[in-house]
Amino acid sequence: MSEILLQIDGKEVKAAEGMTILEAAQSVGVTIPTLCHLEKLTPYGACRICTVEVDIGGRTSLFPSCLYPVAEGLVVRTRSDRVDRIRKMILEWQLAHAPDSEQLKDLAQIYGADKDRFEKEPAFCILCGLCVRYCAEVKKKYAVGFNDRGPRREIAFVVEVASKECWNCKECFPLCPTSYAQAAYVLTEALAFPGRSSEPLPAE
Amino acid sequence: MPRINSPAELEKFRKDILSKRDPKKPCIAVCTGTGCLALGASKVVAAIKEEIKKQGLESKVKVEADIRETGCPGFCERGPLLVIYPEEICYLQVQPEDAKEIISQTILAGNVVDRLLYTGPKPDEKIVQESEIPFYKNQKRLLIGNNIRMDPKSIEDYLAAGGYRALVKALCENTPEQVLELVKKAELRGRGGAGFPAGKKWEFTRNSQDETKYVVVNADEGDPGAFMDRALLEGNPHSVLEGLLIGAYAIGANEGFIYVRQEYPLAVENATIAIRQAEESGFLGKNILGSGFDFNVHLHQGAGAFVCGEETALLMSLEGKPGEPNQKPPYPAVKGLWGKPTNINNVETWANVPLIINKGAEFFTSIGTEKSKGTKIFSLVGKVNNTGLVEVPMGITLKDIIYEIGGGIPGGKKFKAVQTGGPSGGCIPEEHLDIKVDFDELAKVGAIMGSGGMIVMDEDTCMVDVAKYFLNFLTDESCGKCAPCREGIRQMLKILTNISKGKGKEGDVELLQEMAEITRDASLCALGGSAPNPVLSTIRYFRGEYEAHINEGKCPAFVCKDLISFYIDPEKCTACMICLRKCPADAIIGGKKQIHVIDQEKCTNCGTCYEVCPTRFAAIRRLSGEPVPPPIPEEERTIVGASKK
């Protein structure tokens, strides 16, 4: 595979074709924050926290590093005024939903985000989609999905699937940046199939 | 309809059709587009058919008149409308009762029915011919002008008007490269919003290394108040098909899709019929016109999501997945439908292609401005006298569209702003009415061409309310995938709602601007990227109005209900009881010879009293940002004789 030379935060970086900016940055120890990224999953580009500045064709543009493929001669800045402003605002918006998320709080410190800037609307979920995509792509069970759209979007466990599949998996819980996935599951279980999923169904 | 296997067969068939038609024979073309249908056009058609039968027999004169049910010619304000050929007599607001007179007077006796004609501002100013009506006269109707000349369900009508000639020219006389060059030379820009050069887009797709390629018609028109694409697809579906075929040939695609929203049932029906006809007659399928080129088209109905007008979301939807956009790059030209190179253009863009092939690139570039060529269809709606579809050359001024074609603002009100480009567009104030309408000039004043929505607003429009309206629309239509769009719209709407309720705070305007910038810069697709435009453009031109709401609790246009009150001027009230009877909240106290008073506790600020109070009294006052005067004491309310006590 051909080798691509690009610049990230002033460092010359050698990357392989097909890599994303995020991967190239990680390979040389440059950290770019992410909320919806997981190596095992197809990049999704929804949280926009990994937005970076890219000089391309004489213009500076903003792209999510998790999706943007490396190209010869790219000049990337993972921090800049614009980038930091974007990350700060997104964190402040998300903290209105999940003020206690450790991951969000840590990032808020770095970017000076005020967790009380916006009125609290505790949905607890920041809609990163890690649980939904992990369940679909890795486990191929589709036990959890998105409901509705826009600001009304939320995750929801599909009772028919979750009641059979989730009890011995629960692998999405630790992926969740806010622990809402677990809460949503427990609530679904309590309301729709109490006790049924905590242990295996009796053998035939 | 026989299968046509070669250009020669097509020309012979066309001749056959034309030989059966007598251009001197009267033809009544009734618009049966969605607008006129809603106004009762189908009853008009039925009545005319009935009359022809009746009068043809009774008068023993053989009436030979064709009735043609056509697509929308644009003058929706005055529908149902019809045009009688060959004289081109245009009748407006026709009712079924008029059928008798139309047949006996116009068709049989050759007289014009005066009262159905267009009347200008002066009552004696009657206009007979369609093309002389100011609404039409100032347009350049290269695309939409054909609608009234053909029945969209008849391929023979399309062929009689010279249809599929461009296809012959492209397929049989030019290589794909030559067709591509021609479209590039014509500098056709996409009519769906961004104005990207269509030829360049075609070239990217053509150059992508893959055997399988697709072409798509984006007919997912979703801007509130916009219906250009609907009118084209339901009024002249073959022109869209022909454009698509030519594009597919140039790009090297053998399969195409029409993605049309299911809320357009007539467009779906007419496009489906057109596809079937084109298949039967050999314009679709294998070895089209003997050229060796194969092409098939499928129609796909969208489920009514605004975001599916965004091309990557459209492709997801077409694949059967949730209509959520994907990051570009990769562009659909490289990786589109099912991972294959795909070229997506809007309905109007495709409809322009046959015109370019037929008339040449030079003809096309002779119309318009330096960087925007050809015409553009706008749907002119809102507070304007002549609402409807207008097709104008690029470069016409906004003033000409609104005043010359649109006939100005109704009710003697003052113009305030015009909103172009739908929810992604911006509001343009009076000071910019002289700008030449094209892609770049509109962008310079903070609006966009968009797909062609044009909403005129008068002095009774509150700009905070307008921004709130569009953000509310986008709240429903954002897919919610990416955080900046979902959260940015949510938070901006919250602040706008607060401002409109008198709960705005100092710094709100700056916060709106800050959030607008982040939403624009960080969102995944163009919906989020352009969602802040209504906010930014209203702040840019009407900041004072925001400040009046925030600092004085005042809505200068008297729209925001929480900031206004109504008050009856005791000096002017004549106790006529009209407002008292009409008030839906029973909030008006009074009686015969008793000056009326509004119970502010009960009043819902609906404004009914203000509207019904006779102008000769004008006793109702609207207040905003000031206290309501105390009601006149009960003992002083009685009116004695002509004077008041």
The DSSP code sequence of B492-561 is HHHHHHHHHTT---TTHHHHHHHHHHHHHHH-SSHHHHHTTHHHHHHHHHHHHHHHHHHHH---TTS--G
Tens digit of pLDDT for each residue in B315-326?
999 999 999 999
Of A46, A49, A82, the CB nearest to B481: A46
Q: Which residues does chain B have within 8 Å of residue A45's beta carbon, measured at their own beta carbons?
A: 326-327, 482, 524
Contact A82 B483 (CB under 8 A): no
Q: How confident is the model at residue A98 (pLDDT cuts 50, 70, 90)?
A: very high
- Determine contact: A47 vs chain B, CB below 8 A: yes
Q: What is the pLDDT of residue B142?
A: 96
Q: Which residues does chain B have within 8 Å of residue A119's beta carbon, measured at their own beta carbons?
A: 494
Phi, psi of B334 (to 5 degrees): -100, -50
Residue B142 lies in a domain: no
C-alpha torsion angle, residues A152, A153, A156, A160 (rounded to 10): 90
* Shared-domain flag, residues B195 and B290: yes
pLDDT greater than 60 at residue B60: no
Pure H helices in B175-288: 176-185, 198-207, 228-235, 237-251, 265-280
- Rounded to two decimals, the ipTM of the complex is 0.94
> Are A70 and A92 spatial neighbours (Cβ–Cβ below 8 Å)?
no
pTM: 0.93
Residue B143 lies in a domain: no
Q: Average pLDDT, stretch A127-140?
A: 97
**Which among B137, B163, B187 is the end of a domain?**
B137
Tens digit of pLDDT for each residue in B496-515?
999 999 999 999 999 999 99
* Shared-domain flag, residues B277 and B337: yes
Q: Which residues does chain B have within 8 Å of residue A93's beta carbon, measured at their own beta carbons?
A: 483, 487-488, 490-491
CA distance B514 to B504: 16
* Shared-domain flag, residues B387 and B440: yes
> Are B451 and B310 spatial neighbours (Cβ–Cβ below 8 Å)?
no
Tens digit of pLDDT for each residue in B527-555?
999 999 999 999 999 999 999 999 999 99
The CA angle B57-B60-B61, to the nearest 5 degrees, is 105
Q: What is the pLDDT of residue B493?
A: 97
> Are B180 and B206 spatial neighbours (Cβ–Cβ below 8 Å)?
yes
Q: Is B121 exposed, middle or buried (0-12, 13-18, 19+ CB in 10 A)?
A: exposed
- Determine contact: B477 vs chain A, CB below 8 A: yes
* Shared-domain flag, residues B454 and B468: no
CA distance A92 to A108: 8
3-state helix, strand, coil in chain B (%, to 5): 45, 15, 40
Tens digit of pLDDT for each residue in A154-172?
999 999 999 999 999 999 9
Q: Average pLDDT, stretch B42-55?
A: 90
Residue B415 lies in a domain: yes
Between chain A and chain B, how many beta carbons pairs sit less than 8 Å apart?
86
Tens digit of pLDDT for each residue in A2-38?
899 999 999 999 999 999 999 999 999 999 999 999 9
Residue B258's H or E segment, with its range, is: strand B255-261
What is the domain count for chain B?
5
Strand B214-219, strand B126-127: pairing: unpaired
Residue B5 lies in a domain: no
Compute CA A24 distance to the chain's CA centroid, rounded to the nearest angstrom: 18
Q: Which of B239, B631, B325 is nearest to A44 (CA)?
A: B325
- Determine contact: B527 vs chain A, CB below 8 A: no
- Residues 406-445 on B with a CB inside 8 Å of A are none
Q: What is the percent of chain A with per-residue pLDDT over 70, rounded to a whole number? A: 95
pLDDT greater than 50 at residue B237: yes
Q: Average pLDDT, stretch B393-411?
A: 95
CA distance B635 to B645: 9
Residue B13 lies in a domain: no
Q: What is the pLDDT of residue B645?
A: 42
**Which among B458, B473, B494 is the end of a domain?**
B458
Question: CATH code at B420?
Answer: 3.10.20.600
- Determine contact: B621 vs chain A, CB below 8 A: no
Contact A51 B522 (CB under 8 A): yes
Structure tokens given for B493:
């709407």
- Determine contact: B489 vs chain A, CB below 8 A: yes
- Determine contact: B521 vs chain A, CB below 8 A: yes
CA distance A45 to B485: 12
The sign one gets for the Cα dihedral B245, B248, B254, B255 is negative
Contact A146 B515 (CB under 8 A): no
Range of the domain at B395: 375-458
Q: What is the pLDDT of residue B599?
A: 95
Question: CATH code at B97?
Answer: 3.40.30.10
Q: Which residues does chain B have within 8 Å of residue A69's beta carbon, measured at their own beta carbons?
A: 329
Of A67, A85, A127, the CB nearest to B518: A85
Interface test with A, best of B482, B496, B503, B508 (most A CBs within 10 A): B482
Interface test with A, best of B316, B327, B471 (most A CBs within 10 A): B327
Residue A161: CA count within 13 A, CB half-sphere: 15
CA distance A38 to A26: 13
Q: What is the pLDDT of residue B644?
A: 47
* Shared-domain flag, residues B419 and B510: no
Contact B514 A89 (CB under 8 A): yes
In the DSSP assignment, the letter for residue B232 is H
Contact B522 A62 (CB under 8 A): yes
Tens digit of pLDDT for each residue in A28-42?
999 999 999 999 999
pLDDT greater than 70 at residue B630: yes
